[in-house]
């Protein structure tokens, strides 16, 4: 298999953490790719026509993409139980929440990088952060008991999302007023898989 990824991408990190946690890293050739919505020249568009990362080629079918699809595939391939039947809907909802956080956080970065300065909207950026803030509050008030349970994909997704907030939006101080989530992430970030996949600025 080949994984097209970028170290700075939180979606790619989610897949990389999954590879580490399920013992499949050695089964994958890692291929770096870079791009933006305005320039997909160096992106694996032959494998993902959307021009987004990550994308995974595999020997038993066409390439697959979207981190949720890839992680579900890797989980099934390793029979690792990251999508447990008993809490499947909770796990999927938390994974979707984490992906929404990552989507909004990446869009905030793109606003500064891809849009001319005179066209950038602080209100739009703050609107993206409002989505993130509401999601973090929901995790803190509704989902901490789930995060205290056995490792599943929601833990990996939330950990990747919070890591990206530290990486790109540390000035927003997502930890303020969310001590329980801060404590959880401090512990989760010490996992070998998280340490091995820390993003690198490009």
Indicate the residue among 24, 50, 78 that finishes a domain: 78
SS3 140: helix
Q: What angle do CA 46, 2, 54 make, to 5 degrees?
A: 65
In 3D space, the residue among 127, 168, 151, 171 whose CA is nearest the CA of residue 10 turns out to be 168
Do 64 and 153 lie in a common domain?
A: no
Do 69 and 133 lie in a common domain?
A: no
For residue 201, is it within any domain? no
Q: Whole-model pTM?
A: 0.95
Higher pLDDT, 182 or 40: 182
In 3D space, the residue among 38, 30, 37 whose CA is nearest the CA of residue 6 turns out to be 30
What was the pLDDT predicted at 184? 98
CA 160 centroid distance within chain: 5
Q: How confident is the model at residue 26 (pLDDT cuts 50, 70, 90)?
A: very high
**Residue 113, domain CATH:** 1.20.1050.10
Looking up tokens 């990486």 gives 167
What was the pLDDT predicted at 202? 67
* Helix H or strand E segment including 10: helix 10-21
Do 66 and 137 lie in a common domain?
A: no
Residue 65 has pLDDT above 70, yes or no: yes
Do 91 and 190 lie in a common domain?
A: yes
Do 20 and 64 lie in a common domain?
A: yes
Q: Considering the chain, what is the average pLDDT of its residues? A: 94
Indicate the residue among 17, 49, 78 that finishes a domain: 78
Q: How confident is the model at residue 36 (pLDDT cuts 50, 70, 90)?
A: confident
Higher pLDDT, 115 or 149: 149
For residue 43, is it within any domain? yes
For residue 52, is it within any domain? yes
Do 177 and 109 lie in a common domain?
A: yes
For residue 202, is it within any domain? no
In total, how many domains does the chain have? 2
SS3 185: helix
What was the pLDDT predicted at 200? 84
Question: pLDDT digits over 96-132, tens only?
Answer: 999 999 999 999 999 888 888 889 899 999 999 999 9
What are the backbone dihedrals phi and psi of residue 64, each rounded to the nearest 5 degrees, phi first?
Answer: -120, 155
For residue 97, what are the domain limits? Answer: 85-196
* Helix H or strand E segment including 57: strand 55-58
Do 56 and 122 lie in a common domain?
A: no
Residue 143 has pLDDT above 90, yes or no: yes
């Amino acid at each position: 298999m080949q994984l097209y990824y970028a170290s700075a991408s939180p979606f790619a990190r989610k897949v990389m953490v999954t590879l580490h946690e399920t013992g499949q890293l050695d089964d994958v050739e890692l291929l770096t790719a870079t791009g933006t919505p305005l320039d997909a020249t160096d992106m694996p568009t032959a494998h993902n026509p959307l021009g987004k990362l990550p994308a995974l080629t595999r020997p038993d079918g066409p390439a697959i993409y979207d981190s949720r699809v890839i992680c579900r595939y890797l989980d099934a391939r390793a029979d690792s139980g990251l999508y447990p039947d008993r809490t499947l809907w909770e796990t999927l909802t938390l994974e979707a929440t984490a992906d929404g956080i990552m989507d909004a956080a990446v869009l905030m970065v793109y606003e500064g990088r891809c849009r001319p300065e005179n066209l950038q909207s602080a209100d739009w950026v703050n609107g993206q952060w409002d989505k993130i803030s509401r999601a973090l509050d929901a995790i803190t008030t509704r989902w901490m008991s789930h995060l205290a349970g056995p490792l599943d994909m929601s833990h990996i997704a939330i950990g990747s999302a919070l890591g990206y907030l530290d990486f790109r939006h540390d000035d927003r101080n997502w930890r303020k007023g969310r001590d329980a989530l801060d404590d959880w992430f401090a512990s989760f970030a010490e996992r070998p898989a998280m340490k091995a996949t820390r993003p690198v600025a490009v």
